[in-house]
């Protein structure tokens, strides 16, 4: 079907529900602000440059429904602007402080200029709405926007509750359609977590394709004849792509991946942990805890050596070399695969979006260089998976049922179920059962009762976010993650008990609606049993 070998880049963009209106400053809200400043805005400006220069590019971007909501929230937009202003003021002080050191002064100026430009773009051209900018490039056919489960739930854990799976999917579809005016073709499995039971659900909602991790496809039944270099057809007719493990390792391997190059900027060393306390006052938490400023002056540097100053010019040289290497390696793989399969295949390169820019400072530059270099190659081209899938004759694809898998630690579910987080699930599952019961017991209610039931649905969905389990597993902000689950379950329980007693505090409900305001158009009946 193709005269060129195909590459597909898919970036998964997601931030958990970190909105905390009760606190004037909340550390975890910065996860969102960092992602906007360091990943999402650089990606959009990359699209603009490539489009202006008529450089062909295609990219799949997963925007989780949770992230979509956060990006539109007026309170968080206001706080993001405060976050930018804080960095601008601090940046001016750093530009002044580093004048006697040309290397540091150049870097301070670079960071300051980037934040000033980001604010100008966000408030001016993008009008506080980067989703609108993304939709613009989708309509031009340059990028493809995929959806995922409403609150990024680890879906294999909930397959025994069809009503919950349908709620996660229906809320996601409704949210996507409201934002972008169209239905998504592709469904991103949260954490790339596939379970055979999901096949029926995905196809019933008319999704065309999904992506599983490498081993999920290779261990499928039967073994795929073309490995991960061609999609397969699930028993229910879903097109299933497998991640290219070598493309993953090229970037994600902690020791050999491109981001580990010693000349690249060190993510972990930040002057927020180096300078005198009075100089970083705006970045201190109320308890005096230091936090990152975004001003990072050091290169990764060879192990055992004193840290070098970061050199953007040297890093740019390595970016180009790595982009060329990445393309040539994928091309060689695909040519080798063709010798076995007899056809020009596809390499699906899927990553978390925040790797590019936030974790790996040079990441957006790497992506842009990939597209620029590929434009000068005759044998390979980037494609969107939706367009690729549309051209496929499904009936001629090998029929394979992928195996249970994820892209988490060791490839299965231990990140989301271990001694640190297993306490959650009895409470969550009980809440799901009760939510289904409520949807069946009150099928046609309106007014205050309907508002109450809708909020109950929000709380159940929020409690299921896979982020809470992953955060506890990793130990980062574990108290926040635990408190979110406990709060959502307690809120739901209060609602459940109040409906049993036929009384709800309107004041309490209104406050909760304002706090946990995700999915304003949710309909609790998504939890009803299908008949």
Can you give the CATH number for the domain in which 481 is found?
A: 1.20.1430.10
Tell me whether residue 179 is in a domain. no
pLDDT for residue 1: 53
Tell me whether residue 216 is in a domain. yes
- Do 325 and 228 sit in the same domain of this protein? yes
As for how many domains the chain has, the answer is 2
> What is the three-class DSSP state of 387?
helix
- Do 480 and 456 sit in the same domain of this protein? yes
- Do 399 and 433 sit in the same domain of this protein? no
pLDDT for residue 20: 93
Find the CATH number of the domain harbouring 234.
3.20.110.10
State which of 361, 376, 411 marks the end of a domain: 411
pLDDT for residue 531: 66
Mean pLDDT per 10-residue segment, the chain (531 residues): 87 97 88 97 98 98 98 97 96 96 96 98 96 96 98 98 97 96 96 97 95 98 97 97 98 96 97 91 84 95 92 98 98 96 95 97 98 96 96 92 97 96 98 98 92 98 98 87 97 95 90 97 94 66
Tell me whether residue 111 is in a domain. no
Tell me whether residue 123 is in a domain. no
Which of 435, 502, 419, 424 has the alpha carbon at shortest distance from 465? Answer: 424
Dihedral sign, CA of 463, 14, 281, 307?
Answer: positive
- Do 250 and 223 sit in the same domain of this protein? yes
Tell me which residue range forms the domain holding 513. Answer: 424-527
**In contact, 256 and 267? CB cutoff 8 Å:** no
> What is the three-class DSSP state of 380?
strand
- Do 486 and 400 sit in the same domain of this protein? no
Kindly give the residue spans of alpha helices, DSSP state H, lying in 297-362: 312-341
- Do 344 and 430 sit in the same domain of this protein? no
Which of 144, 238, 247, 147 has the alpha carbon at shortest distance from 190? Answer: 147
Residue 138 burial (CB < 10 Å; 0-12/13-18/19+)? middle
Tell me whether residue 102 is in a domain. no
Percent of the chain with pLDDT over 70: 99
Alpha-carbon span 312 to 318, nearest angstrom: 10
- Do 13 and 66 sit in the same domain of this protein? yes
- Do 367 and 240 sit in the same domain of this protein? yes
State which of 364, 383, 411 marks the end of a domain: 411
Tell me whether residue 378 is in a domain. yes
Residue 221 phi, psi dihedral angles, 5° rounding: -120, 115
Tell me whether residue 21 is in a domain. yes
CB half-sphere exposure, 284, CA atoms < 13 A: 11
pLDDT for residue 329: 98
Helices 245-252 and 312-341: angle between axes, nearest 10 degrees:
160
pLDDT for residue 319: 98
Which of 336, 345, 152 has the alpha carbon at shortest distance from 241? Answer: 345
- Do 428 and 356 sit in the same domain of this protein? no
State which of 411, 435, 454 marks the end of a domain: 411
Describe the chain by its helix, strand, coil percentages, rounded to 5: 55, 10, 35
* Residues in CB range of 310: below 8 A, 6 or more apart: 107, 265, 266, 296, 297, 298, 299
- Do 370 and 439 sit in the same domain of this protein? no
Alpha-carbon span 463 to 424, nearest angstrom: 9
Tell me whether residue 303 is in a domain. no
**In contact, 365 and 312? CB cutoff 8 Å:** no
- Do 519 and 447 sit in the same domain of this protein? yes
Residue 343 burial (CB < 10 Å; 0-12/13-18/19+)? middle
Provide the token pair at 375. 């434009």
Helices 447-463 and 478-500: angle between axes, nearest 10 degrees:
150
- Do 438 and 505 sit in the same domain of this protein? yes
How wide is the angle at C-alpha 506 spanned by C-alphas 504 and 507, nearest 5°?
125
């Amino acid at each position: 079907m193709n005269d060129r070998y195909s590459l597909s880049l898919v970036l998964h963009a997601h931030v958990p529900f970190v909105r905390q209106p009760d606190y004037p400053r909340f550390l975890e809200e910065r996860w969102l602000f960092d992602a906007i400043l360091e990943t999402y805005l650089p990606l959009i400006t990359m699209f603009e440059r490539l489009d202006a220069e008529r450089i062909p590019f295609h990219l799949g971007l997963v925007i989780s429904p949770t992230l979509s909501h956060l990006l539109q929230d007026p309170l968080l937009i206001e706080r993001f602007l405060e976050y930018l202003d804080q960095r601008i003021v601090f940046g001016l002080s750093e530009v002044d402080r580093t004048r006697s050191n040309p290397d540091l002064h150049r870097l301070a100026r670079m960071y300051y200029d980037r934040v000033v430009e980001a604010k100008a773009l966000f408030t001016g051209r993008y009008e506080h709405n980067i989703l609108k900018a993304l939709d613009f490039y989708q309509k031009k056919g340059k990028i493809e926007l995929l959806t995922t489960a409403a609150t990024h739930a680890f879906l294999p854990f909930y397959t025994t509750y069809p009503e919950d799976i349908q709620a996660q999917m229906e809320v996601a579809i409704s949210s996507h359609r409201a934002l972008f005016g169209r239905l998504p073709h592709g469904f991103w499995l949260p954490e790339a977590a596939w379970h055979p039971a999901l096949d029926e659900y995905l196809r019933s909602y008319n999704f065309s394709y999904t992506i599983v991790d490498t081993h999920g496809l290779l261990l499928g039944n039967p073994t795929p004849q073309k490995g991960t270099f061609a999609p397969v057809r699930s028993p229910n007719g879903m097109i299933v792509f497998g991640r290219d493990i070598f493309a993953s390792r090229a970037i994600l391997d902690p020791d050999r991946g491109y981001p580990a190059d010693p000349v690249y900027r060190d993510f972990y060393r930040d002057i927020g942990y180096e300078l005198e306390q009075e100089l970083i006052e705006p970045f201190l938490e109320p308890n005096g805890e230091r936090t990152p400023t975004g001003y990072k002056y050091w290169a990764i540097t060879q192990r055992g050596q004193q840290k070098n100053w970061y050199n953007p010019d040297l890093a740019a040289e390595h970016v180009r070399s790595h982009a060329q290497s990445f393309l040539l390696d994928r091309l060689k793989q695909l040519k080798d695969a063709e010798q076995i399969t007899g056809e020009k295949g596809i390499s699906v390169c899927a990553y978390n979006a925040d790797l590019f820019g936030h974790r790996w400072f040079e990441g957006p530059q790497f992506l842009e260089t990939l597209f620029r270099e590929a434009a000068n190659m005759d044998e390979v081209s980037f494609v969107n998976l939706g367009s690729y899938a549309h051209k496929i004759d499904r009936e001629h694809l090998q029929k394979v049922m992928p195996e249970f898998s994820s892209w988490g630690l060791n490839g299965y579910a231990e990140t989301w179920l271990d001694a640190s987080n297993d306490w959650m699930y009895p409470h969550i599952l009980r809440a799901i059962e009760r939510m289904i019961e409520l949807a069946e017991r009150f099928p046609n209610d309106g007014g205050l009762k309907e508002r109450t039931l809708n909020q109950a649905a929000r709380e159940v969905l929020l409690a299921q976010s896979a982020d809470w389990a992953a955060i506890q597993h990793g130990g980062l902000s574990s108290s926040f993650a635990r408190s979110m689950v406990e709060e959502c379950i307690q809120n739901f329980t209060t609602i459940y008990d109040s409906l049993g007693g036929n009384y709800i505090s309107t004041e309490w409900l209104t406050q909760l609606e304002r706090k946990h305001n995700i999915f304003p158009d949710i309909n609790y009946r998504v939890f009803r049993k299908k008949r």
